[in-house]
Structure 1
Amino acid sequence: MFKYILKYKLLLLIAAVSVLNYGCSKDFLDVPVQGQATADSDPDVADKLVTGVYASLHASSAFGGIGDINGISMIAATTIITDDSDKGSTPGDQKGLKDMDDFDLTPTNNFVAALWTGYFNGIAKTNQALKALETAKLDEDLKLRYQAEVRFFRGYYYFNLVRWFGGVPKVLKVPLDAYEANNDPVYQTRATPDEIYALIIEDLTFAKENLLIKGVMPVGRVTKGTATAMLAKVYLTRKNWQEAYTLSQEVISSGSYSLLPDYSEIWRQVGDRSNEAIFEVQTGVYNNSDYGVPNYCVWQGPRVGGLQGWTDLGFGFNSPSQNLVNDYEAGDKRKESTIIFIDQSPQHVGTVLFDGFRIPSQDSVANPRYNYKAYHSENKEVESFLGNRDRKQKNIHLLRYADVILMAAEAANELGNSGESAMLINMIRQRAGLADIIASSQPSMRETVYHERRIELAMEHDRWFDLIRTGRAAQVMQAVKPNFIPGKNELLPIPSLQIALSGGKLTQNNGY
């Protein structure tokens, strides 16, 4: 029993002393290190370790294992939890998701626990890679680039953790042995949010200074622009408007990015690694394999219900809410590109998607709306699909150019320049087929920015973080989800198992 508890503690508190398998069950990512080639004797090992850090983005286990970074737990904690979405599926399916949707969260929620485990396992991979790179026999410029790539991910993972949980353990090293893992307080106590943000800024700044620009970095890798844009978002969250504005403008003026003319194409394969893409989870043809985030599409695909009799696309979770639908302006092209509307007509004409796939009417489908941005074509003549429905080749867009434009618009307004804010917002609205806005007072422009962020980035995993950082969570959420408790539900609970495994050293968030 003691060995079992120790093993679990090492895994969940990020104190593993054995070398991890830096991959997602793909042979080309397996990195056997102990007793074989190491980074200081074989440069290829260093590259594989860095590749393994990228592969950590594919973690999506909500029920144990390696945890969840971009699976249903992330979807729930960024979107289902907000006014943009309802749990979906059938009423009794996955109570833990319903509890998140309704703010009936407890510290034993498995989806919350999966986030903690997944992100800290991702951080463990970054620390293992950085340790190996210290002694790797590489060209110094290449070593700096590798370190910058890895530190970008560590900063990004901590950025999400601190926004979900507040202060968390600040783990920057690999423990020497089990004794250190179980006795060094760093693995079992929470740093303050300010300490975590200082680390995030340090890591992302290092990445910004040492990564190469888009077009010079290998395709699919994070770039100088990726780090700059993510750092701008961190400063926006911290309300450092000048830094947020300066960094956003640096990305805009770089000339490396632009808006795709057709909004709907961003989430199709034609939009992968496009001029609008800044940070994506790479999948499918990028790796020349049946390689994707397990079940990302399937969790959100339209689900059979009623009369059935058709090949459904998934489990039906994360259904866009009526509240979101109501917030679109008339004529906004983004609505039909964001939401799959199930046919409600008595003629049962169904809904035909962009690839020709027909979803039947409401009598055969569980929910009235689904996330179009999560749909991957079922037609292999339209988008490549190698047959594993659980690993569809769906790039997940975590940060794109439109977001940077809106960050610049928000920061400009907060700095007193509503005219520039309006100009930037109109770049977004023109693509959506909407009329330009006119600059107005700072409070009015602030609400305009908030609206445009909601609509432009709907179902893209930004809504929750935007509500929290702008202090609007209580006002917005209580109007649609009355269980929301101010001063409590802005943060997720620290998983109870983590507190137990720390011997009570990890403290719980308020109200849980």
Structure 2
Amino acid sequence: MKNTIKNIILIISAFTVLSLSSCSDYLNTEPTTETTVESTGKVIATAAEAESRMTSVYASFGGEYWQLDYFFNGDAQTDNAYAGSDNTQNFQQDEYRILSTNTNVSRDWGYIYDNINKCNFILNYIDEPKDLPAARKEEMIGEASLVRALNLFHAVQLWGDVPIATKAVVNVNQDNFEEVYPQLYPTRKPKQEVYAAIIADCETAIQKAPASTNKFRANKGAANALLAKVYATKDNPDWAKVKQYSDAVITGAYTLLPNYENLFDTAHEGNSESIWEANGEGWGSPVGAWGTSMFYGTDWKKFMTPSNDLIQTFTNEGDVVRKKSSVIVKEVSWTDNYWTSAGYPFAYKMRITDGKQNFYILRLADIILLKAEALAQTGDNAGAMTLVNQVRARVGLPKVSAASQGDALDLILKERKMELAFEGHRWFDLKRTAKAIEILSKQKDDKGAILPYAGNLNQDRLLWPIPQTKKDANPNLIQNPGY
């Protein structure tokens, strides 16, 4: 099989010139070459080309994964939201019956590894331009390392064992085929190795990325925050490390905004609570924030419709402030199984439809609650509740206390549900805390009946299938159990 692939790929490389920065087939089949490489002998010839490569890295936050699928995956697969709209691929996700042919799953694999590949071009070839100042080169290494770590972190949470891509393949020939083959046709690496690679990239970012004040770029504070989440998520969480890296954030130059609504009103971009945010600067900018219109507006039935369960949670808790910022109710021209046309809810945190909507990749409240979890996991329930109550005080809710470790962890998980709704966290939180099946199998409609698809979720369905298109193109990829 390998010799057959070798012959095919050498024939392709002899007759095909593909764009280096467009790699929808990366980790599938073809190598890539570029005419500028042929003319200059360099992948990145100048500082200007290096900056252009870096712009393309940040432009990935304007792509379909980060604008749409990240939020849908994180919330519509949970008790926070229903699928909404009319896309059968999304219904599969919402109802825990994804097929390996699901096109959303396939495109997310493609987007994530394309984003990683863009980072690899910088990390592999940043030494080439002689006019790039040394300090800027080091910053670029830190930025690209952290963006690569972020994308790989999403991959390992979605699929479990995944390939670790560290090389951008520029060309393939008879002499280098054995070297590039593992990059073109990779195997899935055990999660332990994947997390080690993520941690190494984050550590590089702590050393080299821009200062924490650069909230629209991958920065040192974001590297600390991502490491806290990584150490909490890996199979054997390291709670001491979670506390260490959470503290590096909490004791840094961040504070909770006094007014929760200011987080999402677009008048407070790059605020004191923001650790790292994608910067929507309008149409034509690298991150033209088109994703807002996928969730908000009455012109068609949108994706990620707020659930009865989430709204009931806000109501039961008396959480008027976060409910108002998270959900808006409109009159629409349609009905569905869950809501009437007279009072139809929309996710409201992303609400600006002129392409200028920013969204958070990491913010302080997330890390405060993550540290609370680490404290509860190590026996300090009182300390955990102090942090939870700090977050609750911002929205005018009374203090809570925990009678046991289990009680503390449940309270933290509920607080994260209300604080971070529609920010793409819930699915990953439920999996990380081993609560997904317990909670999602009991989802109810507005009449108190268990949702008909709630029982579809099982241990195998906590991971996505390897996309069939990727598996067909790469014989080295092994499918996840249950698919």
**TM-score of the aligned structures, taking structure 1 as reference length:** 0.80
Q: What is aligned with 2:82?
A: 86
Q: What amino acid is aligned across from residue 79 of structure 1 in structure 2? A: D
CA distance in 2, matches of 1:149, 1:280: 14
CA distance in 2, matches of 1:484, 1:134: 51
User: Residue 400 and residue 10 in structure 1: after superposition, are their counterparts in 2 closer, same or farther (change >3 A)?
Assistant: closer
* Match 1:128 to one of 110, 113, 121: 121
Partners of 2:28 and 2:470 within 8 A in 1: no
Partners of 1:477 and 1:484 within 8 A in 2: no
User: Residue 489 and residue 394 in structure 1: after superposition, are their counterparts in 2 closer, same or farther (change >3 A)?
Assistant: same
Q: What amino acid is aligned across from residue 297 of structure 1 in structure 2? A: T
Q: What is aligned with 1:70?
A: 66
Q: Secondary structure of 1:70's partner?
A: helix
CA distance in 1, matches of 2:410, 2:194: 29
CA distance in 2, matches of 1:10, 1:75: 21
5 Å matches for 1:373-388? Answer: 373-376=349-352, 385=354
Partners of 1:237 and 1:469 within 8 A in 2: yes
CA positional deviation for 1:484: 2.8
Q: What amino acid is aligned across from residue 330 of structure 2 in structure 1? A: I
CA distance in 1, matches of 2:422, 2:277: 15
Q: What is aligned with 1:510?
A: 481
Percent same amino acid at aligned positions?
28
CA distance in 1, matches of 2:143, 2:163: 22
Q: What amino acid is aligned across from residue 301 of structure 1 in structure 2? A: Y
User: Residue 12 and residue 131 in structure 1: after superposition, are their counterparts in 2 closer, same or farther (change >3 A)?
Assistant: closer
5 Å matches for 1:245-324? Answer: 245-254=243-252, 256-284=253-281, 289=284, 292-293=287-288, 295-303=290-298, 312=299, 314-324=300-310
User: Residue 296 and residue 19 in structure 1: after superposition, are their counterparts in 2 closer, same or farther (change >3 A)?
Assistant: farther
Q: What amino acid is aligned across from residue 342 of structure 1 in structure 2? A: K
Q: What amino acid is aligned across from residue 171 of structure 2 in structure 1? A: D
Q: What is aligned with 1:307?
A: none
* Match 2:327 to one of 339, 342, 345: 339
Greater alpha carbon shift after TM alignment, 321-330 vs 7-16: 7-16
5 Å matches for 1:40-59? Answer: 41-59=45-63
Q: Secondary structure of 1:499's partner?
A: helix
Unaligned ranges ≥5, structure 2: 1-7, 334-338, 444-452
Q: CA RMSD in A?
A: 2.8
User: Residue 32 and residue 321 in structure 1: after superposition, are their counterparts in 2 closer, same or farther (change >3 A)?
Assistant: farther
5 Å matches for 1:322-471? Answer: 322-328=308-314, 329-342=317-330, 368-376=344-352, 385=354, 392-471=355-434
Partners of 1:79 and 1:462 within 8 A in 2: yes
5 Å matches for 1:180-199? Answer: 180=177, 184-186=181-183, 187-199=185-197
User: Residue 333 and residue 294 in structure 1: after superposition, are their counterparts in 2 closer, same or farther (change >3 A)?
Assistant: closer
Partners of 2:159 and 2:466 within 8 A in 1: yes
CA distance in 2, matches of 1:249, 1:421: 13
Q: Deviations for 1:79-103, whole angstroms, at most 9, x for unmatched residues?
A: 11111100113xxx21111111111
Q: Secondary structure of 1:136's partner?
A: coil
**TM-score of the aligned structures, taking structure 2 as reference length:** 0.85
Unaligned ranges ≥5, structure 1: 21-30, 61-68, 304-311, 349-361, 378-384, 386-391
Q: Secondary structure of 1:271's partner?
A: coil
Report whether the alignment pairs 1:220 with 2:216: yes
Q: What is aligned with 1:355?
A: none
* Match 2:468 to one of 454, 471, 496: 496
CA positional deviation for 1:343: 5.6
Q: What amino acid is aligned across from residue 325 of structure 1 in structure 2? A: I
Q: What is aligned with 2:3?
A: none
Q: What amino acid is aligned across from residue 258 of structure 1 in structure 2? A: T
CA distance in 2, matches of 1:143, 1:15: 31
CA positional deviation for 1:315: 4.2
